[in-house]
Structure 1
Amino acid sequence: MPYELFIALRHLKSRRRQTLISISAIGIAVMILVVSNAFMAGFTNEIYEVTVENLPHVVVTPDEDEEYIHFYNSIIPQIEKMEGVTATSPALEGEATLQYKEHTINVLMRGVIPEKEDMVSHISNDMTEGDFHMLAHSRNTIVIGDALAEDLDVKVGDEISVNFPTANPASYEVTGIFDTGTPVDNILTYTSLNTAQEFYDIGDAVNVINVRLADYNDDTKIAKQIEEIGYEASGWTTTNPEILQTIKIETTSNNIMLLLILLIASFGVVSTLNMVVMEKVKEIGILMAMGATASAIRRIFILESGILGLIGAIAGSIIGIAIALAIGSYPVPAGFYELEVIPVFIRTTDILITVVGVFVLNLIAGVYPAQRASGLDPAEAISTH
């Protein structure tokens, strides 16, 4: 064992109380960091699960000079051959007004091929009443969100009037109700593609092709590939930038707060080592008189700082993981943001970065007291006490 490390350990052992306080300060800071990161990662995953997973990852729209996509049946096979594309769904979307008794609400009506749409949005998993695929076997039927059903005061089996100034008015039967847990439950409705085409009287055409990817992070790449074959396309990060912006703002503010906590803990280490320097002036002088160089003295105190940081970071990480997992298994009261348990996700990379970061930060924090100790004059140090 190098004598610098031996002396550093002896210093720390001889001041057990101060050492324990320093390690505890760092450990608490790291514990807060680990728990907070686990919550942030968990809620970020939840946001992606609730929003991005229910969104089309790429949306193909008509060219600027066109209102509809007329040859969608020839476009879809080209898109489906692209690596990373798992499903496509042609749709005809437009505004519509639903009326039931005295209730009137403007909505977005989406005409789809149920089998294809379900492969993109997995809407059948969100059905609370009825069968989404029944749209394929019936005409003039509609599936609506639970919030919209409550606003209209309708239930499965009721007939509602559907109209729009430029469309053909009709009566549709409510054959299903879905609940995605998102704001779309207030405005989105589904009907069959044929029914929507008849309602808007446009023939066999669509105005959007929704695309699902194996990895939603590839949305920009796939959108560019679709544009290369001559069609307008946008990824979800372009059409829904507010999701990324919300996550970015929350993550930034969280990281700033946690960095301040770690800096406070590191200053505690600096204070402890400064006290060691003041108390060990004579011992430092003796070491230098025995031949210890200034760089060796500097290494002793930097090692002490690094040891405090490493032990504190490891202990804090272990405790933080245990607390995060315990909180993550705690059930959430029914109806609280559609969550069953508090979302927690622990990433190994986050833990490693935290431990290494705290270790390096404490090494840096130990430079000042180490420099101060190495700058002592041996003769003055010995004669100080």
Structure 2
Amino acid sequence: MYELKIALRQVLSRRRQTFFAILAVALAVAVITVMMAMLSGFQTELVKSSIENNPHIVITPQDKKEEFIHLYKYNSARIAEKEGVIAVSPKYLGQAALEHRDNAEGVSLQGVEPEAENSVMKVSEDTIKGSFLSLVHTRHGIVLGDKLAENLEVQPGDSVDVVFPGSQTTSFKVVGLIHTGTSADEVTAYARLDSVQRFFNKPGVVSTIGVKVTDPYQAEVIASSIERESGLDAVSWLEANAEILNLLNTQKIFVNVFYLLIYGIAGFGIANTLITIVAQRTREIGILKAMGASQKSIMVVFLFQSVILGAIGLVLGTVFGYIVTVALQNYEIKVPQEMYFGLQTLPLKIESINFLYAAFFAFIINIISGIYPARKAAKLDPVKAIEST
């Protein structure tokens, strides 16, 4: 195919212009693949933290004036029998103070049934010292967040006093420490449900019931079913994080606009290169047409040039983007937790589909960029083109 040979010769004859056109495409693809990796990583970590660090469904009293769920054992048993429900964990939540020697910290004291809570929240996976399930056999045992334990200067085996106005100060033995990597590590304290109920003088009631389901994305449907049948308020993780998920969707729109701008800049680079070639090769185009080359063939020559420049650029950009993404993953850039919903490092996730998207759209933009100069070359009058030089 002579059109391809001519296209290659013209691309190689202007090496400086070719280099900058390829560089523009490569940088565009690299920047976009890195940004897509950041967006994918951020969304994945956010959804993961929403699913794993919280129950899929949280059940509370329907009446907002009511603090507690009564008959929680009956309700828990009914919910556990529902299709799609894996585990159910009743929980009593109370604010108290922990004291150890001269140290005191305010905490969220959570009374739980250890095995049920572990099934819902996988607390054992976050345990870094001691054992969360040892609460089953320790009536006055307590498991603390590692930051809380550090502030209190305690370790497993030490005792802390739990203090609350109107309740009798009770000594609890630290049997484990957990680390979730979130701010909850500074205020979380787990103890057995019956012990916490007794401490707050609230027997037979709980604050919430946490539910884990087989498919997290069906949590909304199951929550609605629970509300209808129990008369309690059931909120799925999707509903609880609706604002954040909507923010992500809005962010995607702005990011896509940004992608189009970058692709457009790269496309202008290729278009400018091809327009320059048309201006510099006017006589050669005229000779080709005089020798019988059709307008279609001339267009094909310049479209081939656009494809060649774009293909080389997107291959180099994809490789460079992958290298940069892997390097950033290994570097672990620290980010403010309060700005990124508790994330400690900048999350990046390499997904092959992101590279395919970047390559596909870059390739399409490059072809579109070559259409105008190709049409301009094809419409040149051969006589005027030859005489113009």
Q: Tell me whether the two structures share a fold, i.e. TM-score over 0.5.
A: yes
Within 5 Å, which residues of 2 pair with 1:206-245?
206-230=206-230, 231-241=232-242, 243-244=244-245
* Displacement of 1:347: 0.9
Within 5 Å, which residues of 2 pair with 1:21-100?
21-50=20-49, 52-64=51-63, 66-82=66-82, 84-100=84-100
One-letter amino acid matched to 2:377: A
What is the match of residue 370 of structure 1? 374
Q: Helix, strand or coil: the match of 1:357?
A: helix
The CA RMSD measured in Å over matched residues stands at 3.4
What is the match of residue 275 of structure 1? 276
Say if 1:113 and 1:353 are closer, same or farther in 2 by CA, change over 3 A: same
Say if 1:302 and 1:55 are closer, same or farther in 2 by CA, change over 3 A: same
Say if 1:332 and 1:323 are closer, same or farther in 2 by CA, change over 3 A: closer
What is the match of residue 184 of structure 2? 184
Within 5 Å, which residues of 2 pair with 1:1-12?
1=1, 4-12=3-11
* Displacement of 1:342: 7.8
What is the match of residue 286 of structure 2? 285
1:168 touches 1:198 (CA, 8 Å); kept in 2?
Answer: no
Unaligned stretches of 5+ residues in structure 1: none
1:50 touches 1:181 (CA, 8 Å); kept in 2?
Answer: no
Instruction: Deviation per CA, 1:104-156: give whole Å up to 9, x if none.
Output: 33221111111111122221122222221121212232211111122223333
Distance in 2 (alpha carbons) for counterparts of 1:349 and 1:215: 24
1:298 touches 1:371 (CA, 8 Å); kept in 2?
Answer: yes
Unaligned stretches of 5+ residues in structure 2: none
**Paired positions, count:** 383
Say if 1:256 and 1:286 are closer, same or farther in 2 by CA, change over 3 A: same
One-letter amino acid matched to 1:356: F
* Displacement of 1:59: 1.1
Distance in 2 (alpha carbons) for counterparts of 1:202 and 1:268: 72
Residue 301 in structure 1 maps to residue 289 in structure 2: no
- % identity of equivalent residues: 38
What is the match of residue 120 of structure 1? 120
Say if 1:225 and 1:365 are closer, same or farther in 2 by CA, change over 3 A: farther
What is the match of residue 261 of structure 1? 262
* Displacement of 1:167: 4.7
What is the match of residue 351 of structure 2? 347
TM-score normalized by the length of structure 2? 0.84
1:332 touches 1:342 (CA, 8 Å); kept in 2?
Answer: yes
What is the match of residue 360 of structure 1? 364
Moved more, 210-219 or 119-128: 210-219
1:51 touches 1:182 (CA, 8 Å); kept in 2?
Answer: no
Distance in 2 (alpha carbons) for counterparts of 1:18 and 1:146: 59
One-letter amino acid matched to 1:198: R
Q: Helix, strand or coil: the match of 1:155?
A: coil
What is the match of residue 383 of structure 1? 387
Say if 1:333 and 1:267 are closer, same or farther in 2 by CA, change over 3 A: closer
Distance in 2 (alpha carbons) for counterparts of 1:225 and 1:6: 68
